[in-house]
Structure 1
Amino acid sequence: MKTKYILAISGNDIFSGGGLYADLATYTTHHLHGFVAVTCLTAMTDKGFEVFATDSSVFSQQLKSLKDVPFSGIKLGLLPNVEIAELALAFVKEHADIPIVLDPVLVCKENHDVEVSVLRDELLKFLPYATIITPNLVEAELLSQKSIQTLEDMKAVAKELHELGAKNVVIKGGNRFSQTVAVDVFYDGQDFHVLENPVLNHNNIGAGCTFASSIASQLLLGHPVLEAVQFSKNFVYQAILHSDQYGVKQYYDKT
């Protein structure tokens, strides 16, 4: 079978559980050749977990270096500033005919005071080009400027994000509404699908990155969007089940 190439536009996680590490591990699990354009570095400092954006000229050169690679899919993760977002958007526009998955990271989980909400307007520009977006609850609230307190709120915000341009939306509810069931909502402009899995008391670093990268991989392999989301929900469940102290252990689907 001809090798397929997939790009992650994402950041470095110093603990190697999320970001580009989760992306590449997921691509490898799907037997795809993964590339990365690195948007930022991270480190623990005396201020806590910090994000250091890649110099925009360096990031631009990364994308130019990849211009001749025949990508079949792109997944976008942490875009740390407006300059990086604008360069990434220009690249996405040049590849609008392939699956594009946007994980709109607006909050660093390790430090909820670090909000990059200034990027909201920039991220909204990606929506018409994204095959699917995968915000968590906080990110969905920031994008929509609406509060989410119930499952019905999740559905209403998913619909609003679709109306803002996203072709498909999956909002990751996690365990906000239940300590036993992780609930996500998928919306394709016509139907809502509520996806549930048991909450696991395991390390879940990189779960969101893995979820988005798995969806991108499944789309690249030709699966319908809902099927890709359902598969990826279970894929992440298994990854968390097999996680260790720092991140996700390699997990291969034997089916």
Structure 2
Amino acid sequence: MTTDYVLAISGNDIFSGGGLHADLATYTVNKQHGFLAVTCLTAMTEKGFEVFATDSQVFSYQLASLKDVPFSAIKLGLLPNIDLAEQALDFVKAHATLPIVLDPVLVCKESHDVEVSALRDELIKFFPYVSIITPNLVEAELLSQMSIESLDDMKRAAEKLHALGAKHVVIKGGNRLDKEKAIDLYYDGMIFDVFENPVLTENNVGAGCTFASSITSNLVKGQDMREAVRQAKSFVYKAIANSNDYGVVQYEKD
């Protein structure tokens, strides 16, 4: 039985632009009931924007509390360490028949240190159990261990991620390849689809989270994967157009 219950396993954004705030807002706009397992808290300190992982036992209690809820889909965002990623993976395996969207986030993703490398290996373990992965260009580079400088590079990286077990892949290119266009690449193992929109100048904080949670909501509605991605791209474009100083603003659909 399909319900309107959707789970977000994601982190807090202290400024409420991205993370769990974007996920729950997207579910609400789509008239779905969002449940939540929080993976981290954040704060702006003298060191900059800091991420504080949820206590392992507390995270375990959260997942145990939710194990019997009849979700119709799950979206995973920031998993800040190996312990929490392993717990989330066990939960995903127990719900692997559902549509599951993995938006892989690598903490300190500009630094190729041991923790990032270990977390990369852990995230790859999710690939066979999720419906689609939605990395941005930086995460796609880290996960595929390839440099991406062109659309052809994006295609090769998508093929590599598919070969690692991902059934469907969307690489969020942003405007890195073309300053005038926001380019995303979708790959289902056979066909590439390129989705483009003009680059907007408004704040886009939370756009990646909103994109992944919008795909999740669309899958709950029964859309096929390509259409779910296409509509999510349009949804995010309108959200960015209505953004404020702290992030994307969800709009009401007609």
TM value normalised by structure 2? 0.96
Letter of the structure 2 residue corresponding to residue 165 of structure 1: G
Q: Secondary structure at the match of 2:156?
A: helix
Instruction: Say what the alpha-carbon RMSD is for the aligned residues.
Output: 1.5
Q: 1:107 to 1:82 in 2, by over 3 A?
A: closer
What is the aligned partner in structure 2 of residue 197 from structure 1? Answer: 197
Q: 1:114 to 1:148 in 2, by over 3 A?
A: closer
Q: After the TM superposition, which residues 105-184 of structure 1 pair with which residues of structure 2 at under 5 Å, given as runs?
A: 105-107=105-107, 112=110, 116-184=116-184
Instruction: String of CA shifts for 1:109-148, please: whole Å, max 9, x gaps.
Output: 8xx4597343000000000011000000000000011110
Q: Distance in 2 between matches of 1:78 and 1:3?
A: 25
Contact 1:6 1:33 in 2 (8 A): yes
Q: 1:107 to 1:201 in 2, by over 3 A?
A: farther
What is the CA distance between 1:42 and its match in structure 2? 0.3
Contact 1:106 1:117 in 2 (8 A): no
Q: 1:120 to 1:100 in 2, by over 3 A?
A: same
Contact 1:107 1:114 in 2 (8 A): no
Paired residues, what number?
252
Q: Distance in 1 between matches of 2:72 and 2:8?
A: 12
What is the aligned partner in structure 2 of residue 233 from structure 1? Answer: 233
Q: Distance in 2 between matches of 1:155 and 1:114?
A: 23
Q: Does 1:19 align with 2:5?
A: no
What is the CA distance between 1:3 and its match in structure 2? 4.6
Q: Does 1:209 align with 2:209?
A: yes
Q: Distance in 2 between matches of 1:46 and 1:228?
A: 40
Q: Distance in 2 between matches of 1:108 and 1:28?
A: 30
Structure 1 unaligned residues grouped into runs of 5+: none
Structure 2 unaligned residues grouped into runs of 5+: none
What is the CA distance between 1:248 and its match in structure 2? 2.1
Q: Distance in 2 between matches of 1:114 and 1:238?
A: 34
Contact 2:175 2:199 in 1 (8 A): yes
What is the aligned partner in structure 2 of residue 38 from structure 1? Answer: 38
Letter of the structure 2 residue corresponding to residue 216 of structure 1: T
